[in-house]
Amino acid sequence: MWTVLLLVVAVTAASTGWRPAAPDGRNGPPPPKPEPVSVTELPLPPVTPSTEAGSCTRKINPRGTGCVGRSVGLQSGGFLPDGRHVAAQVSFAGAPAGPDPAGIYTGRQLIIVRTDGTTFPNGDPWKCVTCGVPAENAVGRVDALDYPQPFADGRRVLAGPNIIDCGPRLLVDCAPERAHIYPIRWNVTPEGAGKGGEIRELRLHPDNVHLGFNSFTADNGKLGQFAYLGRLKFDPAPKTGEPRTPRYDLAKVTRLFDPADEQPVEADPRRPGELKVNPGARAVGELRGFSKDGKEVTYIGHSAESSNIDVFAANLTTGKVRRLTSHPEYVDPVDLSPDGKWLVAMDTRGTDRQMFMAGMRAIPPVTDLITSSAASSTRNNGQRRFFQPYLIDRYGDRGDYQGQRLNAAGDGGPGSVNDPNWNGRADPQWSPDGTSVAYWQALVVPPACGGHNPLPCPRSTAPGGRTERMMIARLTGRGPAPARPVAPISDRVPWGTPYQPGSPTPTRPYPREGTYTLRGKVSGSAQVKITETAARTAISTIAVAYKGFSDDGLHVLNGTERVTAANPTLTTTKVDWYSDLVQTGRTRATKKSSPDGFHLTIDVLTNIFQATGTLTTTINGRTYLQPANGT
């Protein structure tokens, strides 16, 4: 364990060659000054050099409380309500076989880690909550324990599609024989039969009664997704469905989508032949969490600017949408602070990873109707995420302000807090009092480096050579600003659709085949030609010609862009992209493909960049190139 005090400076717009507008179109108040941050690596179980049974010896762990492998299987989660513990998933390895009591420390388990430098009564700074839970107390348990989120009562924690319950005792005092692991079931059949629907990316609502989740769809050969909100209801003796064991059922489920609602890009119902862009449309793609007052849901939605993947928030009652980020780099995992004044985001900003396609601002998100999967998938190189944690105030990116990187200071050397080979992973989490942020990182390992990949593989300097670590960033200049308790919200989301088990999954509407005019809000227009597939079930090609187009009066767009997209497999997107755009006004920029076009094939689940041809963006004389294949 080590600590480094950081006096962090804000990233400036000069480093990327552009000056973004505020997410909501206003200038916003003056940006906050950078604040001091202290970063500490949190302790984890000791590392065994082998995963073979018995390799975790008493020499490695004298207390016999388990080991992890070099690949920890880590996923850091939320704070317990006392603010002194963080929940995490790890994979124990090397446990002895047979009757040895240390044999319980094996496989995926939930641990809690102390953040204040103290230890549990046995001397460990961490404690396994699920190790040794009797089999009869874990019937129906799902192996995954990802995104662990403690309840406000301190006795339960959501981990994967499970709720771990220690009854009347707090998690910090929980003995394994007292714990229960209850599965969560979403009924998707009219008669209530079967194991239920597949749910992913679960997020506990601050009222501790409702749960947000996502579920994949397969629509016309392409992977899709909808987000849902449901009420957690404990059933000690279910009469239908599987598993027929005490479990939590999801009741009063709402799909956060209404096909009759306005869409991000649609044919204008009032002006035949014209296209309409609706920046305030509630286009919930993947649910990412909730504001701490429980009033808003956060999500990845349809881009507000072309190829720019951002996070939005929608009020669960009114449906009003806020754009939380606007930097052209990729952002996904976010958490809003307890007082609602800040957010922390894992973002690729500063890496220039996405600038080759998203760097030109103020392009309407028309081609995004078919390119969003490809644009979002280029953020990673397999398991190398390029994420780092950023602190951003509630008014978002504006002027020269692009947030403050929490781990910016350091020498950049091996194992340092800003070592570029240690990449941030999902879901940073605020402490209950708003003074700290917990996050986790993974070291670059093959095949994201080495072998045929031109990037060299670093050597881990972490204890035992492990390749994952938990971190905590303390905002040392802040006083406590905890959130207020949240009363249970309504089961009804007025702008959503109540889910009926067994009902067909809807299809997201899109503008049908034809030629449309898109008028700039300030000047000019664009001619948009949409071509559907032969089956007329999806868009295959979008061609746009801009002439003096401007929505803000600051950026004027001329030129053409044409994209054809197909899905060779359910998770793979292939795009043929031809771009010749010129922007004048506040920014002088171009976005151009090579004469033979830019051709990218990428899998949304593996994210390995493979392209022929080029797509290049130049902004005020600075050129941004695409990543090399395989990097």
pLDDT tens-digit readout, 51-95 = 999 999 999 999 999 999 999 999 999 999 999 999 999 999 999
Mean of the pLDDT values across residues 589-610? 94
> Do 490 and 518 belong together in one domain?
no
> Do 542 and 489 belong together in one domain?
no
- Whether the per-residue pLDDT at 2 is higher than 60: the answer is no
User: Maximum CA pair distance of the chain?
Assistant: 77
Residues composing the chain: 631
As a whole number of angstroms, the distance between CA 54 and CA 48 comes to 10
As a whole number of angstroms, the distance between CA 166 and CA 159 comes to 14
Q: What is the pLDDT of residue 19?
A: 40
Confidence at 381, pLDDT banded by 50, 70, 90: confident
Residue 507 covered by a domain:
no
- Whether the per-residue pLDDT at 519 is higher than 90: the answer is yes
Residue 509 covered by a domain:
no
Q: What are phi and psi of 321, to 5 degrees?
A: -105, 140
As a whole number of angstroms, the distance between CA 273 and CA 271 comes to 6
Mean of the pLDDT values across residues 534-549? 97
Yes or no: say if 278 and 303 are a contact pair by the CB < 8 Å rule: no
Mean of the pLDDT values across residues 282-290? 97
- 3-state SS record for 125-158: CEEECCCCCCHHHCCCCCCCCCCCEECCCCCEEE
Q: What is the pLDDT of residue 97?
A: 87
Residue 473 covered by a domain:
yes
As a whole number of angstroms, the distance between CA 543 and CA 576 comes to 12
Q: What is the pLDDT of residue 14?
A: 30
Yes or no: say if 347 and 387 are a contact pair by the CB < 8 Å rule: yes
Residue 59 covered by a domain:
no
Of the ranges 329-333, 396-400, 523-527, which is most confident? 523-527
Mean of the pLDDT values across residues 423-442? 97
Q: What is the pLDDT of residue 258?
A: 96
> Do 599 and 520 belong together in one domain?
yes
> Do 413 and 518 belong together in one domain?
no
Yes or no: say if 67 and 93 are a contact pair by the CB < 8 Å rule: yes
> Do 493 and 520 belong together in one domain?
no
Residue 590 covered by a domain:
yes
- Whether the per-residue pLDDT at 169 is higher than 60: the answer is yes
In DSSP notation, 219-242 reads ETTEEEEEEEEEEEEEESS-SSSS
Q: What is the pLDDT of residue 224?
A: 93
Q: What is the pLDDT of residue 466?
A: 97
Count of helix runs (H) and strand runs (E) in the chain: 2, 39
> Do 465 and 569 belong together in one domain?
no
As a whole number of angstroms, the distance between CA 288 and CA 429 comes to 12
> Do 226 and 186 belong together in one domain?
yes
Which stretch of 99-108, 216-225, 478-487 has the lowest confidence by average pLDDT?
Answer: 216-225
Percent of the chain with pLDDT over 70: 96
pLDDT tens by residue, 293-313:
999 999 999 999 999 999 999
Sign of CA dihedral 392, 550, 367, 608: negative
pLDDT tens by residue, 17-62:
334 444 344 468 999 999 999 999 999 999 999 999 999 999 999 9
Mean of the pLDDT values across residues 360-375? 96
Residue 5 makes CB contacts below 8 A (sequence gap 6+) with 36, 37, 38, 476
> Do 322 and 452 belong together in one domain?
yes
User: How, if at all, do strands 436-443 and 429-430 pair?
Assistant: antiparallel
Q: What is the pLDDT of residue 17?
A: 36
Mean of the pLDDT values across residues 460-484? 96
Residue 435 covered by a domain:
yes
DSSP state of 329: S
In DSSP notation, 484-551 reads PP-PPPPS--TTSEE--TTPPPP----PPSEEEEEE-SSEEEEEEEEEE-TTSSSEEEEEEEEEEEES
Tokens of 91: 């994979």
> Do 485 and 618 belong together in one domain?
no
Single-letter amino acid, residue 266: E
Q: Domain end: 433, 468, 498, which one?
A: 498
Q: In angstroms, what is the C-alpha Rg of the chain?
A: 25
Q: What is the pLDDT of residue 533?
A: 96
The count of structural domains within the chain is 2
Q: Domain end: 498, 528, 556, which one?
A: 498
Mean confidence (pLDDT) of the chain? 93
Confidence at 187, pLDDT banded by 50, 70, 90: very high
> Do 439 and 532 belong together in one domain?
no
- Whether the per-residue pLDDT at 395 is higher than 50: the answer is yes
As a whole number of angstroms, the distance between CA 541 and CA 367 comes to 9
Q: What is the pLDDT of residue 27?
A: 62
Residue 62 covered by a domain:
no
Q: What is the CATH number of the domain that holds 183?
A: 2.120.10.30
Q: What is the pLDDT of residue 630?
A: 84
Print the domain residue range for 559.
514-624
Q: Domain end: 467, 498, 529, which one?
A: 498
> Do 405 and 552 belong together in one domain?
no
> Do 442 and 468 belong together in one domain?
yes
Q: What is the pLDDT of residue 20?
A: 40
Mean of the pLDDT values across residues 524-540? 97
- Whether the per-residue pLDDT at 142 is higher than 50: the answer is yes
- Whether the per-residue pLDDT at 8 is higher than 80: the answer is no
Residue 54 covered by a domain:
no
Q: What is the pLDDT of residue 9?
A: 34
Rounded to 5°, angle at Cα 433 from 429 and 436: 45
